[in-house]
Each structure stands twice: as structure tokens, then as C-alpha cells.
A and B are shown apart, each in its own frame.
Chain A
Amino acid sequence: MSEVRVIVLRTAGVNCDYETAHAFRVCGAEVELVHINELRRKEKNLNFYHILALPGGFTYGDDIAAGKILANEIKFTLKNQIDEFIASGKLAIGICNGFQVLVKSGLLPRKNGGVTLTDNDSGKFEDRWVYLKETSNGKCCFTKGIDSIVYMPVAHAEGKFVPKDEQTLNSLVEKNLVVFRYVDENSNPCGYPYNPNGSIYNIAGICDPNGRIFGLMPHPERHIDPTQHPRWTREGLKKEGDGLQIFKNGVEFVRENLL
């Protein structure tokens, strides 16, 4: 049986590569950590892989704005490889800083998509757990089967999702591109700290119109093992962490459609 191949893209300041690779490995994928210079020098080819993962971190220190410099680098130096990768129906997931990169390089929600991620309303970096409700109605291939609310941490300073205008927001909602919204434990959208950064319409993650490129601020790779849950000592150990399904779905989608 051929393997599902995942590339976890590294560069200066990427720091969630280890646990992101681990999450995909748990799901049976073949994972390779590749430095962006290897793609730029063409020692490795993006199109060899089925899933591109852009992990969390502070790429290039998040200087200027979070994810901006890596987004710029991808846009200007890897354009052809990325375009080919996406055109061939492959998958991409960007987590936290990876989401910021996808948005700022124009890969999400689509070219000139008119959305951005900016400073949290609290004005500072915060690490806290959030409840998320799936709202893409089956559009996003990474969130199939997630029907109840899921729980995972955010850890960022610039995660406030802002669409350019009302029309852009409506279009995201109508096209089912809003994948996750911040909610309370009863599944109702509400304010801080449930919405940890002041995101418009409580948006935590979105996908592209094909449902194959997915970006989110929360960290599913930090809730794979049940001991990662902040209250496992009082609520007991679950069978698996809530984040695992996202990685399983990605790997499963490739098995069914791309192998």
C-alpha cells in the first residue's frame, strides 16, 4: 500500500513542527520535516507530498506582523510549486502561525480574499483552552464527522480574525467556509475569554472554497493524547484527544481520493 506523505514545513522560528509531525504519524502518515530552503533550492519537491502542514511558531520572529515574512517568501519564491500543489487537489493545513501564513500569502480563503488576522483585543499573547463549533456543513475535508463541540488550546498574540467588510463575511458564511467558531461550553457563540482574541463572528478557522486548504488559530496537535486535556484529573481520561480527528480526516481523505 502506498503511503500518505505529509510535509511539515520548517523555517526560522517554526516551533510546533515536532508535535504536528507526531499527530500525523499517530494517524499512520509518512511525515517529513522539510526546511523551506530545501524547497527553494529544489532539493525537495512539494508535489511529492499529499498534505502540506504549516505548523505554529513565530516565523522570522513574527517581525512586521505574524506570519508576514514567511507568507511573503512563499508568495514570491515558491509560487509555482504551491500553485501546482493546490491545482492537483492536494491538502494544506495551517495551524496558528501557519494559519496566519496561509491568510497573508493569499492562499486562504482564496486569492485577494479580503481577510486578515491581527492583534488580540487583549493586547497580549495568551495561552488558554477554547471550545469550537464546526460550522462548514461538511465543506472542509479536515473536520468531517466532528459534530459536537471540540476543545483545544490557543496560544497567540495576533489571532483576531477580521474580514474586510460585511460582504466578505457574508460570503464566507454562505459558502460554508467558516469551519470553526469560538463558543462556550453550551455551544453558544459568546465574548471573551471564550472568544479569546475578539475575532469577528467568533471565527477561529476557515477553509478555501474546495474545502482542502484549512487554517485555524487553535492547536489541534496539542490535544492528541488524553493527558493533554487541562481537566483530565477530574473528568477522567478520554479515549483520544479532540484534535486527533482533524489529522485522521486529512490522512483518510488522501487515502480515499489521492492514492
Chain B
Amino acid sequence: MLWKIEVERQEEFFDARGEGIKKDIIDLGISSVDRVRVIDVYLIEGSLNKKAVDQVCKYLLSDDIVQVYSFKEPLVKETAGVHLIEVAYNPGVMDPVEQSTKKAVADMEISGVESVCTARKYVIYGNVSKEEIHKIADKLLCNKTVQHIVTRKEKVTLPASDYRFKLEYVDILDASDEKLMEISFSRQLYLNLKEMHTIKEYFRKLGRNPTDCELETIAQTWSEHCVHKTFKGTIDYDGEIIDNLLKSTIIKVTEELNKEWCVSVFTDNAGIVKFDDKHNLCFKVETHNHPSALEPYGGAGTGIGGVIRDPLGTGLGAKPICNTDIFCFGPIDYPHDKLPKGTLHPKRIMKGVVAGVRDYGNRMGIPTVNGGVFFDEGYIGNPVVYCGNLGLIPADKCKKEVSAGDKVVLLGGRTGRDGIHGVTFASSELTDASEVISSGAVQIGNPIAEKKMVDTLIQARNRGLYKFITDCGGGGLSSAVGEAAKDTGVVIDLEKVPLKYSGLSYMEIWISESQERMIVGVPEENVEQLLNVFKNEDVEATVIGEFTADKRLKLRYDGNIVCNLDMEFLHNGLPKKNLVARWISPKFEEPNFKDPSDLTPYLKKLLSSPNICSKEWVIRQYDHEVQGGSVIKPLTGVNNDGPSDAAVMRPVLDSHKGVVISNGMNPNYGVIDPYWMAASAIDEALRNVVAVGGTLEKTALLDNFSWGNPDKPDRLAGLVRASKACYDIAKIYGTPFISGKDSLNNEYKVGDESVSIPPTLLISALSVMDDVRNAVTMDGKEEGDLVYVIGRTKNELGGSHYYTIRGWVGNNLPKVDAKLGKKTMQRLNLAIKEGIIRACHDLSEGGLGVALAESSFSGDLGIEVDLRNVPVEVGLKRNDTILFSESNSRFIVEVAPRHKKQFENIMKGIPFGLIGEIKREKVLKIIGLKGKTVLNTPIQKLKAAWQKGLELN
């Protein structure tokens, strides 16, 4: 029997969900909607009688103080002016509520429930046409990738589908080149002809065709996502031959710097550095761009879920302690009718991504401490979603080992058809057909499943029950197991893998990317104890195979061999990629306008521009304080609403030792030259660390490239230039890279035209701080204190936000003098340690002007400065350039008058200027080069401009 239960808020209670949707509908241009109500729908199938259903409704599914329910008839009927849209998840899509509802009903000792699923019914009141209802459903309420509109009575229990084993071979031995490429394309392998030839040759020697499973395994292992063949290939960069870009730039810095506190770099799932005597830190950032483009909520949620499993799968497992997320979207006010076909509107993507990260991170109990949002038209077809996670790991649990004879145990979630071909999908370009053909690649996460797994894994780790761990991420078991056993060998019995529903073939089991799964390698004598740890807290754990010593990847299904590959070929057989890179320096028109006599309107416009304005709307939705270690929060100042430069936290609660997390990124510069973009991103990440009191000497970096198609010489040349800058700049600063990731092929195809996203490099920094009580924030503190600028201001407005708001790009982008930058940051750090810096803010987007405004309104105090005292390069004579140039390695600091001498002594040899003073009068006043006031405005007005830039409901 199927029971359909509807639950709704009582009339007198405000329906915030409904109101939010109403605003979105008005945004779509449909103004005739009076009101929207949201009804939660539960479909319960089983042998329950009416009385039992009423009990479930009354005591479990509804709250009689604020809600009403009905299971006999719908709460609202469709009539003139009352429209209903019911949206449900597609069969097989993760619906976490199903499991918890079943559990709760069982706790009530009510039996007979077979399946539960949920849906949502939207009631739309108003004079709205049928077409408009379709538009609302399509643009706002239902994402066809994972959901559908309910039009008739549905079955809840999935029909049991049988799978009958049949081993499939793919005929490649007799295939022509054309046929080989057709196989690669139609099976979504995304392998090129050279690679297909190599595979053909391998099997020709074996005298047989590959099974479908073998071919898939090779494709997964050789995908750009898993093996980074661009970075490891041979590149002809304008005649210079680079063999392995990664090793000759990013890894090279780390090797040459050879820091004793780097525990594990570029080998495990995340980089590891020393923290204190007992603990180390693990840090990793990843992208989840393509899934987020199609299903923002699920894509971003599984992005954060996936990156949490990286530190968790490093060493013997790190406890996740904080997240950092950076997103790039198209402009949120972009006209709907200009959107390319098949793309979601940037506003919808942003809301979905923020909600996805929020719901996953918050439920996992991991604070999101730092991040950023960047808007540019270049991300309309392909958003960028970076998710990062930091973990804390005992110093003696950082090494893992695979031994022949150890059992392979699969932990966590069950395996379904979700996420099939995620890896190869990530390695291809998006097209307007992606929505249809790749929908299996997108899924919804279940954070509580992952949380349970983390809780139990840490217990098993502490008891020393396993020797190896890794996560099932892209490529699922095929990548996790294949990589784990590459030096030993493994045999897996695929029928032992627990499934969400029947009917999966051996190959689907092997490549499924179902979320919330890990594998561990367990000595036989520990297996029983280990399984008990998980069973005790309702986490599924299953022995699915064993590590061997024969260096072969063997897969069986019910005893039949379905894959038997040589590990050597699988991991080293990939032919090296030869690529061509050609750099053509773009020339933009030089801006041509006068230095304005009043800079006030420009500062206000900068403050309210989307890339500079307050991100409080996003930040407050993330729990940034759970786990109790928060020291410098993302929002700071008198009213807890100013923008912090970096996060500081204490991972160990009975200690004052801390960690700083910051990020640097500026795709605007990448359009001009990715070399200086990369240099600036490093400088910015380091500035942020130093601004809150961190030190360069204990700072490690992560690189995360999101780029276009590397087979195109211009895109690749940019990538080479950015990598070269990573080496040059990090080498001088003395800050090693410990891990990184690249996401290439971020292009969007419409018809024949392929559009690349702007070259986007995110640099994330992690720095160990001996005593968090030395930390400094950016808000102005006290009337009468002195304001200094540190670092030299140059005419470097190319790619600046000032040029952007005035409609220009320019060419003279900020460069980095890393030798001077290093000295500057070291001296500043010294002054902070002496305790004489009361506030410090780095100068970045919007330059000195924006930094002064932010420090001023965050401290609710005025500032008066004189631009004549700003150290500038020879010949710089414009007020707007001094105020808005984004030259690197600069800060403003606040120093009490009694520390003037001490401060100036410390800074000797570094460009700095005493530019002004903190004032009681709440005004920002700036005197220009000719002694005239060029800006004079109440800080409340500046703050209002800054706070209104990003208004979402």
C-alpha cells in the first residue's frame, strides 16, 4: 500500500522557503505571483494500516505546534489561480531522508515499511499562465539532471532488476583507427588515437581483446583527472622543451627548499606538514567544476565531501578540522536570454553551490573558515568550484603501507549507478548535450554517512587496526584499488560490494563513483575487530578482496575473471603526451582618461562591485566556529562584519598553537599574463598570512589550476608561464608547495565555438603560528593611532578593479619583486611579534583606497591620510593610481604613537610611509598630491556601498 503524506506550515507561521521562491520568480520576470507555499511530501510504501500511518504523521513527520498534515487527501487542490508543481528525485538518486525516516519508524516499533521517498510540492498563487508555470518549474524548482516533475501516481519501491552475468569483450584488435575513436567516444573513454593504439598493441601481444572492464579501467587510470598527462607530458614551449612541467617547476621548488617540516609532499592524497610534537597537518584543495555546472547543489556538496576524504585518506587518516571554498561564477545579474543553451543561470548556480557546500560542511561539523567568490563573464558556461580541507593527524600515523595478504575492506556508503564516468567527464569539454548524456556523472551527497565514517575510522586508526587507507573519489573503486595496489597486486570479488539496488553489472560496480566510500588495507588478524568498530556505529564495512604479490589487477565476479591486467602496463603504459605551447602576449588598449578631482564615487563603486563587496550573505550560512578552534573569524571588527584577511584557528583546544589559512587568486591578471597572475596569487596568499600574524618561515602552499583545453597551444603557453612563476616566486619566498591539483578542459562549447574560462590559479597557504594570541585583525582600533603604508606603490593598474569599473583592461599588471616582498613581510612579522601592530590589512583588490575604507568602517573610526606620504615609484603623479593601483607586497598598519620609533626602526630599509591617523570623526578623508582633498565621505556611506553589492534572498 502506498501512503502519500503531506506536511505544511500552519498559515500564521512565516514560510521563508516560499517567500524566497517568490522573490526568485519575480527575478525571472514573472510578477503576477501573489504567494508561494511549500509542502513536504513523504511517500511511504508498505503494509501499514491507517492507525500506524496516523501515528507516524503525528509523532514523527509533523509538529503540531507549527504544522498540519494530511494523508487522506492533498492539502491544497489545483483551481483557478492556484497552481501546483510537485518535484521528486529521479529513481536511484540519493535521498538521505529515506534512510532516517525508516530508522525512526523502526524505533517506534512500527513495522512494515518497505520504502520511503520524499518530494516537494509548490503551491503558486496568482494569475500565472501555463507557460509561466513551466518556466518556473524549469528555471527554479526542478533540475532535470536529478529531478522530475511528478505528473501521475508514482511507484516508490524500485522494481527489482536482475543482473545476469555475461562477460563482454570489446573488439579493438580488428578495429580501424576510425572505429577505435568511435569506441573511445561512444563508451565515454575520452582516450586519443595514440592511446587507443597503445592499448590495441598491448592486447595484440596477449592475443585477445580487452573486456569492457579492462578497457574502462585503463581509460579511468589514464584520464587527465587521474594522471595529469598534460603536466607530466613533454611540452614544446616556444622552442624550449619541457619534460614534465610539474617536476620542473612546482615540485622542484619543494625539493630545492627541502624544509625539514615538510613530512609528505606530492605523494599521498594530501600534503603533510609538521604542527606540534604530537600532530601534523594535512591540506588539500580540489575542483568540482563540471558537476557543479549541471547540478550545483549536488556537485558542490559532493565536491566538499570528496575533498574531506583526501586528508582522511592521507597517511592513516586525518581528522578534518576546517574547510575553505572559493567559487567563480558568471555575473549574477546576467540577462537570462543571453545565456548559452544548456547552461543554468549564474545566480541559480551560485545559490545551489553555496547551499551544497553549506549543507555538507555544516552537517559534517567542519568549520568553513575562509574563502572567496569571484564573478566574471568568462565563467558563464563553466563555473569554477574549489573546495579545500585541512586535517589534523597524529605524527606517528602519517605513513601507510600495502602488504600482500592484507584484506581490502570497503567502508561507508553503498554502491549505485551514480557518478558513472565522472572522471572521464571531468576530462572533457562541456557541451549543450552534457546535461543529457552525462547526467549519471552527477550525484547528491549524504554528509551524515560521511560523518559516521569519519567518527568510526578515527577509532579504528587509533587502535591501529589497518595499515593502509585511501578514498574512493574519481573513478571509484577502479582508481582507489588500482592505485593502492600498483606496487603489489590485488584481487577483488566484485559481487561482494554492497549495492544500493540490484541490477548493476560488474563493470558498473567497478567504476561507480558513489559517494562516502573509502578502502582500507587490513591484516587478516585485525579484520574481525575492525568490522566490529564499524558495525557498532551502523557503518557498513565489507571485505571485498585481498592484496597480492603478483603485480596484477585481477577482478572476479562470482568467480569469473572479468579483468586481468598487468599493473606495469596500467600505470606506466600511457604514452607520453607531446604538446605544443605558443605564447602570444595580448595587447589591450591603453586607458585614456583624466585623474578625477573627486575620487569618492569611484571608491564607492569599487566597494559595491561584486568582486570586492561584502560576502556576509555567504559567510553567515557556513558554520565557521564548530569544533571550537576559531581565533580569527572570517568577519571581524566592531560589529563583526569586516573582511578578515585570513583565518586563524587552534586545532588542539588545550594549546595556543595555531594555524593560518589563506587564499590568493586573481583571474583578471591572467587575461593579460598568467605569469604575473600566478606571481600575484602567491604574493596575495602570503600577504594574507602575514597580515594576521603568520610567518613566511612556516608557510606551505597549494596550487590549483583551472584552465582551458591544453591541446590548444595558447592555453598551454599560459599554463607553462603560470607554472614557471610558481617556481620563481615561491623559491624566493622560501615557501614550498606540498600538494596541488589541476582541472583542465574548462571550456564550453556552443556549436563549433569553444570558449575557455579565464586562466584561474588558486594559491592556498597554510602557516603554523606559535601563539595565536599574537594574531592581528584588519579593523581600525583607536583614535589617534598612526596609519602607515608598507611597500611601494607603482603604476600597475592593468587588470585592476579600478580599470574594470571604468571599462578598461590595460596592460601594466602588477609584478612581484619577491626579494623585496620577502624582506617586507619578514619585518612586518617581526613588528607583529613585538606586539606593536594594532591592525594590519593587506592591499589587494581595489588597492589602498579599498583597504583604508574597509579598515575604517570595520573599526567604526575615521581615517585621514595624505597621499604625498605614500612611497611611490619615480614618475607616479596621479591620485587615482596611488589610491587604486594593485601593486603587490603592500599593507596598511596601525601603530600607537608611543611605538612610532620602534616601528620605524624595524622597518628601516623597507619602503614605508606615515600616511595619516585614525580619527574619532567617522569620515574617510584623503588629501591628494597637490594638497587638495580628493576624497571626503562618511564611513557609513562607504560601508553601505560595500554591504549592498551582493544581495541574494
Contact = CB atoms under 8 A, between A and B. Distances in A.
A230 B634 CA distance: 10
A88 interface: no
Interface stretch (A46-54, A63-71, A208-216, A248-256): A63-71
Given A63-B101, A123-B19, A155-B626, A227 B451 contact: no
Given A15-B626, A222-B628, A225-B653, A230 B108 contact: no
Interface residues of B, number: 66
A81 B779 CA distance: 52
A19 B775 contact: no
Contacts of A123: 16-17, 19-20
Nearest to B634: A127
Interface string B859-878: 10000000000000000000
Interface stretch (B59-67, B183-191, B907-915): B59-67
A13 B63 contact: no
Interface string B599-636: 00000000000000000000011111111101111011
A128 interface: yes
Interface string B12-27: 0110110110000000
Contacts of A198: 14
Interface stretch (A113-121, A140-148, A173-181): A113-121
A121 B365 contact: no
A126 B109 contact: no
B337 interface: no
B107 interface: yes
A12 B538 contact: yes
A120 B15 CA distance: 10
B24 to A, nearest CB: 12
Interface string A5-20: 0000010111110110
A97 B510 CA distance: 38
B640 A76 contact: no
B421 interface: no
B434 to A, nearest CB: 30
Contacts of B628: 16, 18-19, 22, 221-222, 224-225, 228
A239 interface: no
A125 B621 contact: yes
Given A115-B65, A228-B630, A127 B451 contact: no
A60 interface: yes
Most A C-beta atoms less than 10 A away, residue of B60, B538, B626: B626
A5 to B, nearest CB: 20
A64 B620 contact: no
Contacts of B13: 118, 162
B635 to A, nearest CB: 8
B103 interface: yes
Contacts of A228: 625, 628, 630-631
A218 B455 CA distance: 24
A129 B622 contact: no
B838 to A, nearest CB: 8
Interface stretch (B81-89, B356-364, B696-704): B356-364
A122 B14 CA distance: 10
A227 B775 CA distance: 10
Contacts of A127: 620-625
A116 B621 CA distance: 23
B16 A122 contact: yes
Nearest to B776: A233
Contacts of B17: 119, 123
Nearest to B13: A118
A217 B640 CA distance: 20
A159 interface: no
B61 to A, nearest CB: 6
A116 B65 contact: yes
Contacts of B274: none
Contacts of A227: 631, 650, 656, 772-773, 775
Contact of B625 (A12, A58, A219): A219
A224 B772 CA distance: 15
Contact of A56 (B101, B446, B626): B626
A62 to B, nearest CB: 8
A72 B59 contact: yes
A76 B108 contact: yes
A153 interface: yes
A120 B65 CA distance: 15
Contact of B104 (A72, A124, A155): A72
A61 B363 contact: yes
Contacts of A60: 100, 103-104, 448
A111 interface: no
A155 B772 contact: no
Contact of B447 (A38, A61, A122, A237): A61
Contact of A58 (B97, B362, B455): B362
Which range contains the number of A residues in contact with the other chain? Answer: 35 or more
A221 B65 CA distance: 30
Most A C-beta atoms less than 10 A away, residue of B100, B628, B636: B628
Contact of B66 (A69, A118, A153, A237): A118
A120 B621 CA distance: 12
B63 A12 contact: no
B100 A116 contact: no
Given A155-B623, A155-B626, A116 B536 contact: no
Given A61-B448, A127-B623, A231-B638, A116 B66 contact: yes
A64 B60 contact: yes
A72 B60 contact: yes
Most A C-beta atoms less than 10 A away, residue of B446, B448, B654: B448
B557 to A, nearest CB: 32
Given A35-B537, A125-B362, A22 B654 contact: yes
Interface in B99-121: 100-101, 103-104, 107-109
A170 interface: no
B452 interface: yes
B925 interface: no
A45 interface: no
B333 to A, nearest CB: 21
B653 A22 contact: yes
A37 interface: yes
Interface string B728-752: 0000000000000000000000000
B448 A233 contact: no
Most A C-beta atoms less than 10 A away, residue of B9, B16, B775: B16
Given A116-B66, A121-B14, A125-B623, A15 B100 contact: no
B37 interface: no
B630 to A, nearest CB: 6
B625 A120 contact: no
A47 B166 CA distance: 58
A114 B65 contact: yes
Contact of A13 (B20, B451, B625): B451
B63 A65 contact: yes
A13 B448 contact: yes
A73 interface: yes
Interface in A57-114: 57-58, 60-65, 68-69, 72-73, 76-77, 104, 114
A120 to B, nearest CB: 7
Contacts of B446: 61
Given A37-B537, A230-B636, A58 B631 contact: no
Contacts of A225: 628, 650, 653
Nearest to A168: B65
Contacts of B772: 227
6 contacts: A12-B448, A15-B626, A115-B65, A123-B20, A163-B65, A234-B637
Given A60-B100, A73-B104, 7 more contacts: A15-B365, A19-B653, A58-B365, A72-B104, A73-B107, A118-B13, A126-B621
Interface of A: 10, 12-16, 18-19, 22, 35, 37-38, 56-58, 60-65, 68-69, 72-73, 76-77, 104, 114-116, 118-129, 153, 155, 162-164, 198, 219, 221-222, 224-225, 227-228, 230-231, 233-234, 237
The 7 closest A-B pairs by CB, nearest first: A15-B365, A123-B16, A19-B628, A63-B100, A60-B100, A233-B777, A116-B65
